[in-house]
């Protein structure tokens, strides 16, 4: 298993894949550790989560550079990702006891009835490469805090990040086996998930991968949480602050090289402000710097892998062939590495990739609509339902529009983002279940009723 720096084409490191025997030992260790870990008081778990945050702080630069080398994330954004993981740890170190406090219920005189939240056991996580630390940590931290143990199958191009996350929990003082990385290919996941020692699974990734995991889990009656990407609408109404919408929109589309499930992808703009918004949006996108991801001034680095850029460009070409107009960008940059510039498409025909597919890179599809109802109709005209961003100076109007959009989260006058304090997840083909906050930590617990006579 090799990792290749997408910016240079150089091999970063080679790793030995885990054998079937290695995986079996990891599962046995997870089961044994769970029997002890579940009995550790919540306050002690919180203290260990806090210690994991300290390990992240102490090694912040090292982890950021590792991410940048493995998948091309600009170093400033990699540092921000490590810091967000610290915030995640701080949040659950403070709030786990509150989130898992027993809930009492009405009962007959002389009895007490309550719901307690017990851990389920080893939880398998299948995670993507685009946010190598955040995606894995937002799974691990709440589930470990709840008393579960974790098994991580990370993307094959970020094994160094996967092993570093395992080391974070080891250095923080978690027991051996509380969190383990499995260096295996995707073809091994069915066997791991079907193993009786694994009690649940979570996946962030593609629709086909999510359906495969859900199918295997369903056959074995195991709980799953799936986050399967999106084609998020960015709705600009006629009373929006155009400068703010354009500035935020350029970043919402292009941060992390546009490789984000909750990136703004379809810009749906009221016809009265369409021209003004497009002009400002072009200015903001053209001002972004594409370059060496290790340079602090770089906004957009390479795409994570060459084949991913080729797939993205094919989607652009198919859309142009169907009649879409390229305003800026639209061609890979003439330099070493899979660098793709900020690209804006307009006049997008129905049914072309820029209209119906998720474009996982720095390509924005811009649509003009006649009114608010048309904006909502266009926003909902997708198989996805992860996030949405709505721009209007009238907050009451924004909240009304938000309730009519099919998405797991909607942000008014802000880009869509995940936050440890609020639930995160989607609907329709964007998956089901929630991560983060109280809802996230309770996804993989046994809500046990205890009746005392």
* DSSP state string for 98-167: HHT--EEE---TT-EEEEEEEE-SEEEEE--SSSTTHHHHHHHHHHHHTT-EEEEE--TT-HHHHHHHHH
Q: Check whether residue 185 and residue 305 sit in a common domain.
A: no
Check whether residue 262 and residue 188 sit in a common domain. Answer: no
Q: Are residues 318 and 434 in the same domain?
A: no
> Is the domain of 316 the same as that of 448?
no
The pLDDT profile of the chain, 453 residues, written as one tens digit per residue, is 889 999 999 999 999 999 999 999 999 999 999 999 999 999 999 999 999 999 999 999 999 999 999 999 999 999 999 999 999 999 999 999 999 999 999 999 999 999 999 999 999 999 999 999 999 999 999 999 999 999 999 999 999 999 999 999 999 999 999 999 999 999 999 999 999 999 999 999 999 999 999 999 999 999 999 999 999 999 999 999 999 999 999 999 999 999 999 999 999 999 999 999 999 999 999 999 999 999 999 999 999 999 999 999 999 999 999 999 999 999 999 999 999 999 999 999 999 999 999 999 999 999 999 999 999 999 999 999 999 999 999 999 999 999 999 999 999 999 999 999 999 999 999 999 999 999 999 999 999 999 999
In this predicted structure, what is the pLDDT of residue 193? 97
Are residues 37 and 86 both part of a single domain? yes
Sole residue written with tokens 């062939």 = 321
Q: Single out the residue of 128, 84, 314, 376 nearest to residue 228, CA to CA.
A: 128
Tell me what pLDDT residue 273 has: 98
Closest to 100 measured CA to CA, from 151, 60, 46, 149: 46
CA 56, CA 76: separation in Å to the nearest integer?
Answer: 16
Residue 335 lies in a domain: yes
Beta-bridged to residue 266, according to DSSP, are 233, 365
Residue 34 resides in a domain? yes
Torsion angle, alpha carbons of 178, 183, 185, 187, to 10 = -40
What CATH number does residue 264 fall under?
3.40.309.10
Q: What angle do CA 30, 31, 35 make, to 5 degrees?
A: 110
| 256 Cβ contact list (under 8 Å, min separation 6) | 73, 77, 130, 131, 263
Question: What pLDDT does residue 222 have?
Answer: 98
Would you say residue 180 lies in a domain?
Answer: yes
Query: CA gyration radius for the chain?
Result: 23
Q: Check whether residue 135 and residue 119 sit in a common domain.
A: yes
Residue 126 lies inside a defined structural domain of this protein = yes
Please tell me whether residues 155 and 126 are part of one structural domain. yes
Are 136 and 252 members of one domain? no
Q: How far apart are CA 284 and CA 249, in angstroms?
A: 9
Given phi > 0 = left and psi -120 to 50 = alpha, else beta, which region is 425?
left
**Would you say residue 198 lies in a domain?**
yes
Catalytic residue among 261, 285, 352, 409: 261
Cα–Cα distance for residue pair 384/95, rounded to 1 Å:
32
Return contacts of 408-413, CB within 8 angstroms, 24+ apart. 408/434, 411/387, 413/241, 413/244
In a domain, 253, yes or no: yes
The dihedral through the CA atoms of 403, 408, 414, 415 has a sign that is: negative
Q: Is 397 left (phi over 0), alpha (psi -120 to 50) or beta?
A: alpha
Domain with residue 171: its CATH number is: 3.40.605.10
Residue 420, domain member (yes or no)? no
261: annotated active-site residue = yes
Query: Are 223 and 239 contained in the same domain?
Result: no
List, for residues 284-338, the tens digit of each pLDDT value.
999 999 999 999 999 999 999 999 999 999 999 999 999 999 999 999 999 999 9
CA angle 398, 236, 250 (to 5 degrees): 120
- Cα separation, 176 vs 29, whole angstroms: 8
Both tokens assigned to 232 = 């998020």
Taking the CA atoms of 60, 64, 67 and 69 in sequence, report the sign of the dihedral they define: negative
Domain that holds residue 378: 232-412
In a domain, 73, yes or no: yes
Regarding whether 278 and 308 lie in a shared domain, the answer is yes
* Whether 99 and 116 share a structural domain: yes
Residue 100 pLDDT: 98
pLDDT given for residue 317 in this prediction: 98
Helix, strand, coil % in the chain, rounded to nearest 5: 45, 20, 35
- Please give the pLDDT value at position 431: 98
Specify whether 227 is catalytic.
Answer: yes
Q: Do 380 and 434 belong to one domain?
A: no
Give the number of domains in the chain: 2
Set 81, 227, 284, 435: catalytic member: 227
């Amino acid at each position: 298993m090799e990792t290749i720096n997408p910016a240079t084409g150089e091999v970063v490191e080679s790793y030995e894949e885990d054998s079937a025997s290695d995986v079996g030992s990891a599962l046995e260790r997870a089961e044994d550790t769970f029997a002890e870990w579940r009995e550790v008081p919540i306050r002690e778990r919180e203290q260990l989560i806090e210690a994991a945050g300290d390990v992240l702080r102490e090694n912040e630069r090292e982890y950021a550079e590792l991410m940048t080398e493995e998948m091309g994330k600009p170093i400033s954004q990699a540092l921000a990702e490590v810091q967000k993981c610290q915030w995640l740890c701080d949040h659950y170190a403070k709030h786990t006891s509150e989130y898992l406090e027993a809930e009492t219920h009405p009962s007959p005189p002389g009895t007490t009835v309550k719901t307690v939240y017990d851990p389920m056991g080893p939880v398998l996580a299948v995670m993507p490469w685009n946010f190598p630390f955040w995606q894995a940590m937002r799974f691990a931290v709440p589930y470990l805090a709840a008393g579960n143990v974790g098994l991580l199958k990370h993307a094959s191009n970020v094994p160094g990040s996967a092993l570093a996350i395992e080391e974070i929990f080891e250095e923080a003082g978690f027991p051996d086996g509380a969190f383990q990385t499995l260096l295996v290919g995707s073809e091994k996941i069915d066997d791991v998930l079907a193993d009786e020692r694994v009690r649940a699974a979570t996946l962030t990734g593609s629709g086909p991968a999510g359906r495969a995991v859900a199918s295997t889990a369903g056959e074995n009656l195991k709980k799953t949480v799936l986050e399967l990407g999106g084609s998020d609408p960015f709705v600009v109404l006629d009373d929006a602050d155009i400068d703010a919408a354009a500035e935020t929109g350029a970043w919402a589309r292009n941060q992390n090289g546009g490789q984000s499930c909750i990136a703004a992808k379809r810009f749906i703009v009221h016809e009265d402000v369409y021209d003004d918004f497009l002009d400002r949006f072009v200015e903001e996108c053209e001002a972004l710097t594409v370059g060496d991801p290790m340079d602090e001034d770089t906004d957009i680095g390479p795409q994570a892998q060459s084949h991913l850029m080729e797939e993205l460009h094919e989607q652009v070409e198919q859309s142009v062939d169907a009649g879409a107009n390229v305003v800026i960008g639209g061609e890979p940059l003439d330099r070493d590495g899979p660098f793709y510039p900020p690209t804006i498409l307009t006049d997008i025909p129905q049914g072309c990739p820029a209209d119906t597919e998720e474009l996982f890179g720095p390509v924005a599809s811009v649509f003009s609509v006649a009114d608010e109802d048309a904006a909502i109709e266009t926003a909902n005209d997708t198989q996805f339902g992860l996030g949405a961003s709505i721009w209007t100076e009238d907050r009451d109007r924004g909240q009304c529009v938000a309730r009519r959009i099919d998405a797991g989260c909607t942000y008014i006058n802000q880009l869509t983002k995940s936050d440890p304090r609020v639930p995160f997840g989607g609907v329709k083909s964007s998956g089901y279940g929630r991560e983060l906050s109280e809802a996230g930590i309770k996804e993989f617990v046994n809500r046990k009723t205890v009746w005392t006579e």
